[in-house]
Amino acid sequence: MFCFLLLDLAPGDPARAVLEARAGGRPVGTDAIAAQREAMGLTDPLWQRYLDWLGGLLRGNLGVSYMNGRPVADEITDTLPWTLLLTAVAMLLSFTGAVAVGLAAGLARSAALRRTVDTAMFVLGGVPGFVSALLILFVFSVTLGWFPSGGVGRPGAEVTPAAVASSVVLPATALAFGHHFGVYVRLVQTGVARVRGAEHVTSAHARGVGAWTVRTRHILRPGLVPFAARFGVGAAQLLAGAYTVELIFAWPGMGRLALDAARSQDYPVLLAVVLLTGLIVIAANLLGEIATARLDPRIRLVSQS
């Protein structure tokens, strides 16, 4: 509702934008603009337009794009899988790397190693995401030529799994190890360091439990509770960051779709992107709550009482 109101208050006229796009950027007359506004339903009151949009949404109809006349659902279907693929790969890299680095730093006896990790994460946290993405693009694509600079495969060529795999490496890496990565490492490091000296860990060592079992079951699992509690926020940050990374690497996801819709004032498409992003964030937060409850039985006991 808030987004719908903001788009209505935004400067510009979607009807004029549509007609000028059809005319190749040439100015159009006021009579044509008025007729187009009538055809698009922009002359109706705001509350009526919102109720019409909401009623269509409840019926599974996201509307039609102002610019190309395609159903918005088709536009989302074409771009959503690419955004989910990029976010999933980045999430796997980010969370796996954070657990590995945080566990090593949390179990380390060397103060120098812990300071090195803290310093590296502090520096990484100060680098904006688009800067690190451009650096990765320059080093591994422009300079070394190991990976494509953007898009999925070569223009005009068939999109194969190998082309997708090689094309997703750089944007997923840039997204995974952005400024939020240091926060994840610190959460894992702090949780592991707090649990490492707990009584149940000492008791496990005294019973002769193997070192690997102690680290994975008695230290890592409860140590991941703070990290799991932030899972939803982290997933939302990755999804938001994915839109910027998609623009830098010309990735055919919802980020480019949203930017094109904002530039052309294609409000039905933009509303659908905002709505879908919100649903994904809610689902990620729910998964984070479930993961936290699975890792810490005390949370389940409290929720059942």
Alpha carbon separation from 279 to 86, 98, 272, 283 (Å, rounded): 18, 26, 11, 6
Q: Nearest CA to 253 among 163, 132, 171, 161?
A: 171
CB 255 within 8 A of CB 84: no
How far does CA 79 lie from the centroid of its chain? Answer: 14
Give the whole-angstrom CA distance, residue 155 versus residue 141: 17
Q: What is the dihedral of CA 146, 143, 151, 131, to 10 degrees?
A: 120
Q: What is the amino acid identity at position 174? A: A
Q: Nearest CA to 124 among 173, 168, 183?
A: 183
Segments in the chain forming alpha helices (H): 2-9, 14-22, 30-40, 46-58, 72-107, 111-125, 129-137, 161-176, 181-196, 199-206, 211-213, 221-223, 225-229, 231-248, 254-263, 267-295, 297-304
- Residue-wise pLDDT for 14-48, tens only, equals 888 878 777 776 777 778 888 878 877 777 888 88
- Residue-wise pLDDT for 202-216, tens only, equals 676 667 666 666 666
- Residue-wise pLDDT for 194-245, tens only, equals 777 666 666 766 676 666 666 666 666 777 777 776 766 777 777 777 888 8
CB 59 within 8 A of CB 259: no
- Residue-wise pLDDT for 55-70, tens only, equals 888 888 888 888 888 8
Domains delineated in the chain: 2-58 (no CATH), 75-304 (1.10.3720.10)
- pTM for this model (two decimals): 0.77
- Residue-wise pLDDT for 149-171, tens only, equals 777 766 556 777 888 888 888 89
- Residue-wise pLDDT for 73-126, tens only, equals 888 898 888 888 888 898 888 888 888 888 887 777 777 877 888 788 887 777
